[in-house]
Each structure stands twice: as structure tokens, then as C-alpha cells.
Copies of this chain bind each other. A is one copy, B any other.
């Protein structure tokens, strides 16, 4: 019921072990998109719950059986506030309330269960922190061995989650991009299961469920704008894919305008998107307090640009000081304590309200991808 399509050459592949990207186009240009037989799925759709865990969407996911921790992934609240920032309504999707306190659990749950299904013994990933701590905790109760590659600079909370889970940690001297490259070399040579953003097409399948949940929680009333922080480009691709699929399935009649928000000091994907077609991956030196989106060589850049372009989305960036202010705004106005990358969409919203691109009566959702407890250094903790 599933096949994979190359994001650049549209060649299709079947679901099979060790199939991560297109043989023709390689790991950056040839990332794959998972496609389902939507006509077969349409009659299977039942009434979705506003609070159930992510695996309620199993007919739209590539995994057959879920482990015990699945009950702790997804079903995060969409909080609704009146009269914040002069807006009629503001919705906050709080994905810092997953098991490991980030949205990445949605991807890790898919990766761990697929790796078990396909008979792997070891799973690995490179991560700025959240994917690592998520994989460590989600795989803890599985039979898999777990190997994590992380850059030297990693917030204390995320490192603590790794350490306590008892996984093998490879701290790489260098950036996230360096850790990524090293993990690919070692991981593939050892034939370990790869839970790396962008490279593994199934990670989107987990992350897209945040978009499904937003629509279910809004009673299928499509918001005008959804703001999402962007690093590698996988989360925003996944969110747009989720919205598109609910449209394909006839559950909604349009896709909201999705705005990607980057830190000014790490806005590589924005640069590629704004330069326009043909989208060409670049590698930049980056620096931001928002470690989760501190990515200089985004791996899902083609997919993100394509998804954004065909749905009228856009990319913007905000300064680190605006991110810190947004952390405080968000916590003191809504009670949601976000890590820097999690508050970045609020900083973007404030910019767009000031410039008039978003109006106070627009229906806006900001997606908070991680809990502030993971990195308290940004607020002087």
C-alpha cells in the first residue's frame, strides 16, 4: 500500500529494507516521499480523537505494530487563547508534551518500530539533541541497541536524557553537520538502521501527525497560517505533507499557509528557498542559541522548498534576541515553556503582525516543538 517517490526525478521505489534515498539523485537531491493508496484508505477513516496518541492514524503510517511507549507519543494539546498580541485567537500546539519533551518522538516511534519489524539489531542517529534524546528514550524499552552521534555543544537537559537512557554516545568534535556526516559513514558501514533526519523518508510520516492533530483539534476548520521553526527542513515538510494528505483524503478543502521560521544566524534553508528554482543545496557556517535549528547544511532542503512553493508558503528569519523574548512571552502569556527553537515561531508571528502580513483576525497556529526544560541556558538558567 506504500511506495516511495524521489523528490527530484519522481522515480518510484517500493518499501524495502535499506531503501533510504533515490539511487539516481543521491541523499540530498534524492530524498524520498512516502505515498499511500489514498483511495483504499479513504473508506478506512474513522472519527479521530482530539487527545488520542499518534498511532490512532495507523492507516496513514508505515508501521504495523507499536511498542508500549506509543501511548506517550502524540495527542499533544492544541491550546486556544483569546486576545494575545492583539489577535482574536491564537493556537499553540504544544509538542513539548511528548515522552522525551519534543516533537521528535513522533519520528523516533516510527523509526524504532520499523527497525524492529525489519530485523535490525542497532539503530543510530546524528542529532543536535532532540532527535538523540528522543531516540534514546523511545528505544529504551525495545530490543535495539542505540548509538547516538552528537556535536560537542549540546544543552544539558538533552544530554541528561541520553545519559540516563544508557545508550552509546559518540560526541563529535564539531557541529551537527559534522556529526551527521560521521554518523552516515559509520552507521551505513555497520548496516545499522538509520534514524537520520531527511535521509530516512519514514521520519516525516511520524512528524506529519502533528498536522493531522491540528486539523482534528480545530474540528477540520483549516487555519490561515501555521508557523513552524526550520533547521533541516524535515519538520516543515512533514507538516505540509500532513495537511496535503488530509486534503487528498477529502477531510479538508485546502492547505493552510505554512511559514518556516529560522534563526537569522542559521537561515540556510531560507536562502535556498528565496533564491528560487532550481533549488540548490548550500553549506553555510551557522550560529544561533536555538540549537535544534542550528543547521548549516540542511538535508531536506529540496523537499521543504518544493512543499512550501506549491502551497504558497514562505520562509522568514528572526534574531536570537527575538527568540529569547519569545520564550518569555510564550511562558508568561500562555504557560507554555519552550526551548529556543520551540519559541521561534512566536518570534516570527510577532514580526509578521508588525509588518501586517498576518492580521489580528487571522486564525494562526504556532507549533512548539520542544520543552524549555531541555535548555534553560537561553533564559539565564
Contact = CB atoms under 8 A, between A and B. Distances in A.
A15 B12 CA distance: 67
Contact of A156 (B52, B82, B140, B381): B381
B163 A380 contact: yes
Give the number of copies in the complex. 2
Contact of A72 (B71, B72, B94, B101): B94
A115 to B, nearest CB: 15
Interface stretch (A25-33, A260-268, A371-379): A371-379
Contacts of A79: 68-69, 71-72
A141 B333 contact: yes
Contacts of A335: 69, 72, 99-100, 137-141, 165
Contacts of A336: 72, 99, 137
A372 B160 contact: yes
Contacts of A75: 51, 75
Interface in A154-181: 156-157, 159-161, 163-166
A221 interface: no
Given A77-B53, A371-B101, A373-B157, A331 B164 contact: yes
Contacts of A334: 68-69, 140-141
Contact of A331 (B52, B137, B328, B333): B137
A117 interface: no
A355 interface: no
A202 interface: no
Contacts of A101: 101, 371, 373
Most B C-beta atoms less than 10 A away, residue of A69, A82, A139: A69
A118 interface: no
Interface of A: 49, 51-53, 68-69, 71-72, 75, 77-82, 94, 97-101, 137-141, 156-157, 159-161, 163-166, 327-328, 331-337, 371-374, 376, 379-381
Closest 6 CB pairs of A and B: A160-B381, A373-B373, A160-B376, A166-B332, A137-B335, A140-B335
30 contacts: A49-B49, A51-B52, A68-B81, A68-B82, A69-B79, A69-B335, A71-B77, A72-B335, A97-B98, A97-B99, A99-B335, A100-B335, A140-B331, A140-B332, A140-B333, A140-B334, A140-B335, A141-B333, A141-B334, A141-B335, A156-B376, A157-B381, A160-B379, A160-B381, A163-B379, A163-B381, A164-B331, A165-B332, A166-B328, A166-B332
